[in-house]
């Protein structure tokens, strides 16, 4: 009786043949795996073959380059012939740029000046330099000037003032033109008189916004006033201004205060609008174009109504650009406020301003009247 384990090795003839084939294939596979390294070419031989081919290709490329360079004819750097520049490897458009630049500066005095053309870098210049010729005796008639320099030389010079004695309250347009006043200055003076403005003393003339300090110093010795007319004008003033509320007055009222002309009145009104209303008269010191010594002369004629309803910005709902439009908010402080809001989701009260890092307490006091938090 045959045991079960022996039955495992009982194979038919066909099965034994297949098993033999499998064993032979396995031996061939293992032999190939162990000996495959001997079938490859030697590394040094392979590398030398590659290097040889690279040298042949390099020699061929060099020969082609030398042949092409031998066909290039040296050109005069001040030539106007685009074809010759094209032969050096430039496109037609680039050739035109070079020629236009040459014409603009009046010609190249040396090869190095070619580097000023924006399309020519150091590598390109090194390539074309051996093929450039320049006349050593060549000197351009005019030096190169930048666009700004050309503009300055072409600007019409402002005519010099030639003042004579005149009364600004009655001087005619023709007389002012003869003295050399500009059209803008003449219109400014005439419009000031039409709006009811009067000149009582020389300093009043300096308040015209079209009259700068230099012109005023030149004109000031020639200003004269009819004393009898001036006294009559002063006595005929309909309104005597004691004081004005900065947040409710207009330009026509401001100019009636001694020391405030149309120019200062406009500055005061414009700054008030940018602020959203004045919180204190001292804010006038923040207007750079009004000198402190002039400001002192009329500040006591101005006041701010207590509890005035200023235009305020909401810390939680107004956007970044809106804050930047206000005179008190620059980029640095505005970013600090928005960083704090983004980190804490929102401001819960104006007291939170003191928690914002790197912001001076005095600055907080300055901006608080112009801020609010909508519940």
The Cα-based distances of 28 to 18, 32, 33 in angstroms read: 16, 6, 9
Give the pLDDT confidence of 321-344 residue by residue, as tens digits. 889 999 999 888 888 889 898 889
User: How is 207-220 classified by DSSP, letter by letter?
Assistant: TSTT--HHHHHHHG
Give the pLDDT confidence of 76-93 residue by residue, as tens digits. 777 777 777 777 777 877
Three-state SS letters, 232-285: HHHHCCCCCCCCEECCCCCHHHHCCCCCCCHHHHHHHHHHHHHHCCCCCHHHHH
From the list 117, 113, 114, the residue with the least C-alpha distance to 97 is 117
Q: Which of 232-246, 258-272, 333-347 has the lowest mean pLDDT?
A: 232-246
pLDDT surpassing 60 at residue 187: yes
Q: How large is the greatest C-alpha to C-alpha distance in the chain, in angstroms?
A: 159
Average pLDDT over every residue of 5-22: 66
pLDDT surpassing 80 at residue 155: no
pLDDT surpassing 60 at residue 216: yes
From the list 150, 149, 151, 181, the residue with the least C-alpha distance to 168 is 181
From the list 236, 252, 266, the residue with the least C-alpha distance to 196 is 252
Question: Environment class of residue 353 by beta-carbon count within 10 Å: exposed (0-12), middle (13-18) or buried (19+)?
Answer: buried
For residue 69, the model assigns a pLDDT of 55
- Whole-number average pLDDT of the chain: 78
Helices (H), 43-81: 43-70
- Can you tell me the distance from the alpha carbon of 188 to that of 199, in angstroms, rounded to the nearest whole number? 13
pLDDT surpassing 80 at residue 160: no
- Can you tell me the distance from the alpha carbon of 164 to that of 131, in angstroms, rounded to the nearest whole number? 68
Average pLDDT over every residue of 137-142: 67
For residue 47, the model assigns a pLDDT of 66
For residue 198, the model assigns a pLDDT of 80
pLDDT surpassing 90 at residue 123: no
Structure tokens given for 364: 């907080």
């Amino acid at each position: 009786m045959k045991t079960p384990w022996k039955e495992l090795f009982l194979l038919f003839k066909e099965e034994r043949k297949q098993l033999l084939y499998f064993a032979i294939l396995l031996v061939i596979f293992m032999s190939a795996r162990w000996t495959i390294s001997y079938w490859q070419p030697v590394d040094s031989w392979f590398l030398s073959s590659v290097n040889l081919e690279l040298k042949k290709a390099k020699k061929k490329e060099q020969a082609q380059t030398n042949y092409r360079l031998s066909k290039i004819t040296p050109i005069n750097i001040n030539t106007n012939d685009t074809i010759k520049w094209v032969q050096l490897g430039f496109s037609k458009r680039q050739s035109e740029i070079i020629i236009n630049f040459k014409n603009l500066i009046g010609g190249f005095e040396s090869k190095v000046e070619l580097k000023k053309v924006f399309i020519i870098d150091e590598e390109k210049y090194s390539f074309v330099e051996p093929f450039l010729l320049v006349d050593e005796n060549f000197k351009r008639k005019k030096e190169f000037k930048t666009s700004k320099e050309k503009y300055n030389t072409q600007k019409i010079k402002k005519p010099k003032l030639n003042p004579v004695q005149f009364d600004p309250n009655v001087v005619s347009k023709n007389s002012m033109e003869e003295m050399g006043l500009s059209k803008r200055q003449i219109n400014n003076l005439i419009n000031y008189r039409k709006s009811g403005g009067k000149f009582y003393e020389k300093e009043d003339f300096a308040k015209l916004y079209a009259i700068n300090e230099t012109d005023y110093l030149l004109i000031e010795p020639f200003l004269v006033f009819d004393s009898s007319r001036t006294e009559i004008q002063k006595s005929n003033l309909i309104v005597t201004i004691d004081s004005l509320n900065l947040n409710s007055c207009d330009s026509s009222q401001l100019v009636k205060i001694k020391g405030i002309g149309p120019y200062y009145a406009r500055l005061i009104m414009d700054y008030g609008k940018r602020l959203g209303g004045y919180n204190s008269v001292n804010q006038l010191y923040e207007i750079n174009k009004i000198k402190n010594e002039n400001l002192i002369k009329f500040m006591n004629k101005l006041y701010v109504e207590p509890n005035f309803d200023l235009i305020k910005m909401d810390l939680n709902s107004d956007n970044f650009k809106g804050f930047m439009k206000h005179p008190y908010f620059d980029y640095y402080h505005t970013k600090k406020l928005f960083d704090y809001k983004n980190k804490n989701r929102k401001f819960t009260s104006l007291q939170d301003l003191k928690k914002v890092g790197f912001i001076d307490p005095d600055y907080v006091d300055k901006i608080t009247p112009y801020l609010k938090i909508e519940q």
